[in-house]
Amino acid sequence: MILHKDQLSKFAFEMEIPDEPYLDNFSQNKTHTAYYVGDRYLKFAVEEATGIVKECMWRAPTIEDLEKRKIYPEPGHYVITIDAKEYPWEASYLTNAYEHEPVPLYKEDVGQLDSDGNSIMWDYDWGHVLNQIYYINDLKYIDGKFIKPSFRFHQHTDEDIWEDIDDHIEMCDRELARIVYEPREKEKIESCKAQWINIKDNFKHVKHWKLKYPDMPLIKP
């Protein structure tokens, strides 16, 4: 519980930004300044078996106020006190109580063209940064040290997507072999198939989430 807005603390910290979205690579050393804004002192439950930091049990602007409240964790948990001045990154990740100027969009021209021959630019909005870079509810506290949460990779693998593309091409072939389509409808299916083949033949070096995929044509029952 935040007690008094005029007692909120504000502590600066640097968010590490990956070289690219979904890739666990920080070699370019990109950072972006953010500020934890909230009560300075926080008590959290920690799961003994895993070290995962769980819910916030109490928070207060001073250590004296924090200690006024008795905390009773559930069985299999113990309680730690976090000083947000010392651990602003961890306090921000756990509470989402932080602010920052927008992180510049990630933009990349991957070589695809639209129907008019213009480059298709892939971009990514970092949004509320920490929860887009790391999985939530995954910060650990083990042997007196915080261990950062797991990096958030894309939910689909390249291998899965390329298999899906093969399936789409096969689907187009099956539909083209049917005699239920008008010439204009078949043209749309042929165009869709050509686009899938173009992606398969020319863009396997590009991460699948950066690609623009063709619109699916009408498939008749």
HSE-up of residue 117 (Cα within 13 Å, Cβ side):
0
pLDDT tens figures, 172-216: 999 999 999 999 999 999 999 999 999 999 999 999 999 999 999
Q: What is the four-CA torsion angle of 186, 188, 191, 197, rounded to 10 degrees?
A: -80
Total-model pTM: 0.88
Instruction: Find tokens 């992606």 and name the residue.
Output: 199
Q: Can you give the residue ranges of every domain in the chain?
A: 5-147, 158-210
Q: State the pLDDT at residue 5.
A: 58
The CA distance from 110 to 211, in Å, is 8
Q: Is 79 helix (H, G, I), strand (E, B) or coil?
A: strand
pLDDT tens figures, 88-137: 999 999 999 999 999 999 999 999 998 899 999 999 999 989 999 999 99
Give the pair of three-digit tokens for residue 68: 């006024």
